[in-house]
Structures are given as C-alpha cells and as structure tokens.
Structure 1
Amino acid sequence: MTSSTRRPRWILAAVLAIAVVGGGITAAALATGGRAENGVDASAVPQGSIAADTRMGAVELRAADLDGMADYYGPAGIGLDVLERAADVVSLGAHGHELVRLVAAEAAPAAHADAGLFHTAIRFDDAPGLARALVGVASAYPHLYGGASDHAVSHAFYFADPEGNGVELYVDTPRDLWVWEDGEVQMGSAPLDINAFVAEHLGAGTDTGTGSGATVGHVHLKVGDLGQAEAFYSDLLGFAVTARADGAIFLAAGGYHHHLAANTWGSAGAGERPETLGLGSLEVLVPAQADLDVVAARLTDAGAAFDETAGAIVVADPWGTVVELRVAG
C-alpha cells in the first residue's frame, strides 16, 4: 500500500464493524434493468414542463432535539457545515448552500402510516466525498445504518437520523450509462457493500473539506395515493415521471433519474398530515422568475391555492406537505 492510498486503521475499523441490515429503508421495489452498450437515446428521456435546470433546495425538518440532530447532520456526523445557528433553528449545508434546516418543535413523532418524508437524499459529487461522509456518520451512529443498494443510476447508502427521518447518501453513476426504455429510467436494487466501497474510495480524492460537493439530490415522500401525487407533482408542478415501480413513482426535471419520488408502501390511503415532528417543507429551485410564472399559471388554471411572493411560490401538496418553489440564488 502506497502512502497515497494508506488509510487510518481506526476509520476503517469503525466502518468494517457495521453489520449490514436489510430492508426497511431501501427501495427494494425498484424496477430492475441492465446497462446500455451504446449510451443514451436522448429522445427516450422525458423532460417535463418544469425548467430543465430545476433542482432541489433545502429540506426543513421539525426536530425535538435540535442539538442532537445538528450533531448528526453536521461535522460530527454526515459532515455538513453549520451555516447558521440560533436558539430554535440550525441551518446546515455545503459551500454556503443550505441543504437541511432544523427547526425546534414540540410535537409527537410522525406515525409510520402518515404521509410525509420517506428520506432526504444527499448527493455527493464523487465517491471519495461520499466515502468520507459514510465514515463520519457510520462511526458516530452505527446503529442508524440501514443498508445499501446499487441502483444502476446511483450507489446509495441508507440511514435513519436520531429522530427516525430517513436519510440517503449517494453518488450518481456516469449519466451516459443510464438506460432509458419506453421513457423510463431503469433502476435496480443490487447488493452494495459499504465496507468495500469505503476501502476503495476513502482517500482517493483531493477535497477533504467537510460537506464539500454535497447537494440535495432528491426527496422521497410518503403519500396516500400515487394518482394524486402524479397529478400534483407532474401535471401541476411540471416534473416528468421517469419511472414507476410497485407502489412508487419517480419524477425529475431535465432527464435526471429523479428529483422527487413518492410511494404508498406504508401510507396508502393517508389523509392530510397531522402536525408532527419530521418533514416541515421542501424547496424546489428554478433558474428564473419566468419559470415560476409558468408554474403559477398552471396552478391558477387548475384552481389550486398558493401564495406568491417576489421570487417564490408556496403551495401544499394533497397531504399538506409544503413545497416552496423559488428562483435559485
């Protein structure tokens, strides 16, 4: 082993001690598919009517233990930077961009059958950055690890945070290897070994900053009905449906595999969300005011209630989840 690939023994030992447990958090119901040998047929990739450069912004979580949750998402855990800290709010992110906003709240935990958050998925720019985050959070919170999957479009590792909110940490595979068939991206759920991933990638990169190269890649929601979810997130907001699985749909802008997902795996028939801990709101970032105007026109035509301010639209989905669409800063 050369000096450039030597890794601290205590770091690998902490990760290697983790037992890989199955299921509950991983999206095992994803449709399977192979890899293309001839790249991507661009005409087969759905674009949707929302701007192609649309991406996800911050996810707000209502938290009972603000300090404990901040430790988990911050430098002592996943590795996000603390951008702002007040008595009742902690903002965390990377490179000055907010990814997770924690708000102190006194409420009961969400029930499994409630609509709400399935997981917040934090995407890393490269595998070394993801490996560093895995070492941090798995070393400090090994009991919260839930498993891993090779989804063909991404390599994903699943956790819960200290208050039971789902968390996915992932890196995309090369986009030209994604397979599209009949307008749907083919995603699998093959086994993935966290120990092997860390051993291969830890120390391979040059950027060692905490939280570097991280964004909210997608947000996966629990909903009561897939048809209603599609009508809201696709027909009204403009995301394209990029895949369907048993009890789930996946939606994106600009030919990404998914910026949003919705499932009814434990929440079929759920009504409006009660006031609980967990998901408070989520942000969708569009490139320009004109893109907001297009969404506002669709909402108006549909008779949907929403609030509009300079540079932002705030609207609730059929289960009361607040979605803020705003112009990216």
Structure 2
Amino acid sequence: MSELPFAATTPVSVARVGLRARDAESLAAYYRQVVGLQELSRADGAITLGAANRPLFVIEADPAAKPDDPRSAGLFHTAFLLPSRADLGRWINHAIANKIAIEGASDHLVSEALYLTDPEGNGIEIYADRQQRDWKWNGDKIAMATERLNIPSVVADVPAGDAGWQGAPENSIIGHVHLRVGRPEEAEAWWNKEFGFDTVAKYGGAAVFLSSGGYHHHIGANAWQSSGAGRRDPARSGLAWVEMRSDNMTDETAREDPWGTVIRTVPGKA
C-alpha cells in the first residue's frame, strides 16, 4: 500500500484539472487508455476521471470550441504524479508495449518524468518524485535540472514477476500544473499574493516555479511559447480551470489569474 505523495500533504495542493474538449469521448478514452485513469462519473456534458475513486480530471464537452493556440496563455501540461518509482517503471513498460508516443524523458533531480501530448494538444507529464530527503536546496531555492532520464534504471525498479501496469494506482494525484503565461514575473506575483506560494526556482526570466510547504513545485509558469500573451480566448479548447485544495479555506472560491485562467479553491485535506 503506497502513501499519499508529499505533494498532496502541503497546506495548498492541486486537486483537479478541467479541460474543455472538442471531442470529449475521444479525449476521455485517451486518458483512460494511455494515462490509466478510470471514469468515475458523467454529468451535464462533463466526464470525470480519476484514480482509485479519487477525482483528478474533468473533461467538459464543447464541440464548437476552436482549437487551442499554443502561443496563448493556457495549459503547458498537467503532471500526473505516481506514488512510486516502480509505478513509473510499470507505466514505461505499458508505454513501450502499446507504442505510446513519448515526446520527452527527463531527470529533473527532484523527479523523473516522461512527456506526451493528448490528441487535442494538451501537454501531459507522467512522473515520480525522488525521496524528499534527496532534494538539494540552496537557501530557499531548489536544485532542478533537465537531464536525460535513465529509463532502464527506472524499469529495473519493477519487481520480477510483477503484474505490471494496471492503470493509475491508488494515491496517484496531480502533483503540479504547468501554465503558459504572458509574463512569468506577473504570474509569480499573483501566486505569491493569492495563495501565499513560495518561489522555489526560476529559469531566467522565462519560467518560474512555485510551491506550498516545501514541495518542488505545485505551479509552473512559462512564456517559452506565449511571451506577451494577453487574456485567453474563452471560445478555445484546452484548459478550463485548475482546482487547488487549501487547508486555509473554509468555502469554495473561484478567481482568475491575470490571463483569465479560472483557479478554483476547495477547503480541506487531500
């Protein structure tokens, strides 16, 4: 039995992500088959997916939506955090067996991750964290990098005779959300003020990483493709909302970041 990842135990953490989809049925099938989420419910044109009855991901049908524009503000990727390195190894074996197209595989020092893109252009990260005790901090800034992932080493953590990938296991969560923004410094100020997040890393002036409670990041914000972007076009597919869970809140709230991205907050523990 795995433990709930550290990312979900901090005062504020990511609860769920909502996508607006041009073809909700096809997109839901992709997240079931590739990411291993299970369908939990359907209501009012929305399909809720999750892991072991934990809701994580909501796909809202909007057949009339225009395609997402990667140069605009919106979603860079949703990062699904698996409870253990062996779980990541099982997913890698699943990806190999099913010829799933992978666009990147990186060792970030604090975590090990693989990247892909869903059929409507939404980025996905599948990752596992290294042990928190092995993270390196320089004062209040965390050491992260992008190095080549040692895939054989990760796969070697899967025990011999293991049953293999059975879908996203219990205690899988969304560990972080990475956003496309127009100005990372504006995103930084907003998350600092609205959620009390700490700035834990910066990549020059093009990306910032923020967190609660000493995690390596719950929110990333970059302008690699979207520098200078203004408010989002609500008629486009892609990110519909991000829902955060906060120990400091007693009521559900919703607010918009400087680019019109809806950030919801719900009270309580993960």
1:114 aligns with 2:54: no
What TM-score do the two structures reach when normalised by structure 2? 0.88
Deviation at 1:82, TM superposition (A): 1.0
Deviation at 1:104, TM superposition (A): 0.6
Give the direction of change, closer, same or farther, for the CA distance of 1:84–1:203 in structure 2 (3 Å limit): farther
- Classify the secondary structure of the residue corresponding to 1:188: coil
Match of 2:6 in 1: none
Match of 1:285 in 2: 245
Match of 1:325 in 2: 265
Match of 2:181 in 1: 223
- Classify the secondary structure of the residue corresponding to 2:86: helix
Aligned residues: 256
- Could you tell me how far apart the structure 2 residues matched to 1:137 and 1:221 are? 25
Match of 1:251 in 2: 210
- Which of 266, 272, 289 lines up with 2:225 in the alignment? 266
Counting aligned pairs with the same residue, the percent is 36
Match of 1:77 in 2: 34
Deviations 1:265-323 (A, max 9, x none): 11111000002101000010012xxx126xxxxxxxxxxxxxxxxx2110000000000
Give the direction of change, closer, same or farther, for the CA distance of 1:166–1:66 in structure 2 (3 Å limit): same
- Which of 88, 100, 112 lines up with 1:130 in the alignment? 88
Q: Write the letter of the residue equivalent to 1:313.
A: T
Where is the strand percentage greater, Structure 1 or Structure 2? 2
Deviation at 1:55, TM superposition (A): 1.2
Matches for 1:3-14 after TM superposition, within 5 Å: none
- Could you tell me how far apart the structure 2 residues matched to 1:184 and 1:56 are? 21
- Classify the secondary structure of the residue corresponding to 1:68: helix
Match of 2:17 in 1: 59
- Which of 224, 234, 241 lines up with 2:199 in the alignment? 241
Match of 2:56 in 1: 99
1:201 aligns with 2:157: yes
Deviation at 1:136, TM superposition (A): 3.5
- Could you tell me how far apart the structure 2 residues matched to 1:209 and 1:55 are? 26
Deviation at 1:180, TM superposition (A): 0.6
Give the direction of change, closer, same or farther, for the CA distance of 1:85–1:135 in structure 2 (3 Å limit): farther
- Classify the secondary structure of the residue corresponding to 1:128: helix
RMSD (CA atoms): 2.0
Name structure 1 gaps, 5 residues minimum.
1-50, 294-310
Match of 2:148 in 1: 191
Give the direction of change, closer, same or farther, for the CA distance of 1:168–1:208 in structure 2 (3 Å limit): closer
- Could you tell me how far apart the structure 2 residues matched to 1:236 and 1:88 are? 31
Residues 59, 120 of structure 1: 8 Å contact kept = yes
- Could you tell me how far apart the structure 2 residues matched to 1:97 and 1:234 are? 28
- Could you tell me how far apart the structure 1 residues matched to 2:10 and 2:237 are? 33
What TM-score do the two structures reach when normalised by structure 1? 0.73
- Could you tell me how far apart the structure 1 residues matched to 2:153 and 2:267 are? 36
Deviation at 1:211, TM superposition (A): 1.7
1:171 aligns with 2:128: yes
Deviation at 1:157, TM superposition (A): 0.5
Deviation at 1:169, TM superposition (A): 0.4
